[in-house]
């Protein structure tokens, strides 16, 4: 997976302090995101769901509806919304 450097240069989201933000900021109409504390958005295009335990190989992730989600490492698309 390659993150394009343009994301980090002259980006208004970065200068406004909004690069990393909780899901509720963008999906305020989705009540399910209120309970999610371990996922966040990086800019407007990347959903981050860190794995906090070294022994884990996978984790549950919530994908809000209304978007075409792609698994970045595998480029598989589209992923279905909801808990995955």
Mean pLDDT over all residues of the chain? 79
Whether pLDDT at 13 is above 60:
no
The model carries a pTM of 0.70
Q: Which distant-in-sequence residues (6+ apart) come within 8 Å of 81 by Cβ? A: 63, 64, 65, 66, 67, 69
Whether pLDDT at 14 is above 70:
no
- Each domain of the chain, given as residue ranges in start order, spans 16-50+59-83
Q: Which distant-in-sequence residues (6+ apart) come within 8 Å of 79 by Cβ? A: 63, 69, 70, 71
| CATH class label, 16-50+59-83 | mainly beta
């Amino acid at each position: 997976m390659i993150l394009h450097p343009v994301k980090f240069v002259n980006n208004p989201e970065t200068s406004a302090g909004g690069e990393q933000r909780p899901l509720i900021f963008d999906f305020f109409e989705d009540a399910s995101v209120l309970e999610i504390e371990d996922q966040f958005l990086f800019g407007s295009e990347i959903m981050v769901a860190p794995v906090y335990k070294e022994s884990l190989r996978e984790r549950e992730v919530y994908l809000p509806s209304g978007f075409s989600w792609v698994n970045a490492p595998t480029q598989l698309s589209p992923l279905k919304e909801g808990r995955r």
